[in-house]
Amino acid sequence: MDIIQWLLIAIVVGFVFSRFMPVKGVTQMTVQEVKNKLKDRKVQFIDVRTPQEYKTNHQKPFKNIPLHELPNRCNELDKQKEVVVICQSGMRSMRAAKVLKKQGFGKITNVKGGMGAWL
């Protein structure tokens, strides 16, 4: 293999690796741990699934802000409060956590396993 092929492989591996790495400064929490926080008024609960997914099955007090709308709707959230994000499996909510981190949010929590783990 020549250098260009190795370089392309390294770029692809780096891209895939970056997609699945946890975000620095984002806490992972189990569904049970999140259930214990649901009544905390100092926490913002965000569901980043599509409106259709949200209508089918959601938990109160989670507010639906679809992932693709999140960058333009961050102003609806308080940067000083903790944000708990959930999706169906935990993948989109990790991407949402990255978006929130870039927007300057300090305390972000991702729900491990998402709605699929909700009992």
Pure H helices in the chain? 3-20, 31-35, 51-56, 70-73, 91-102
- pLDDT means per 10 residues, the chain with 119 residues, are 81 69 77 91 95 92 96 94 94 93 93 87
- Report the amino acid identity of residue 33: E
Q: Are 54 and 88 in contact (CB under 8 A)?
A: no
Please list the active-site residues: 87
3-state secondary structure of 57: coil
Domains of the chain by start residue, with CATH? 23-117 (3.40.250.10)
Give the H or E element holding residue 83.
strand 82-86
What pLDDT shows up at residue 31? 92
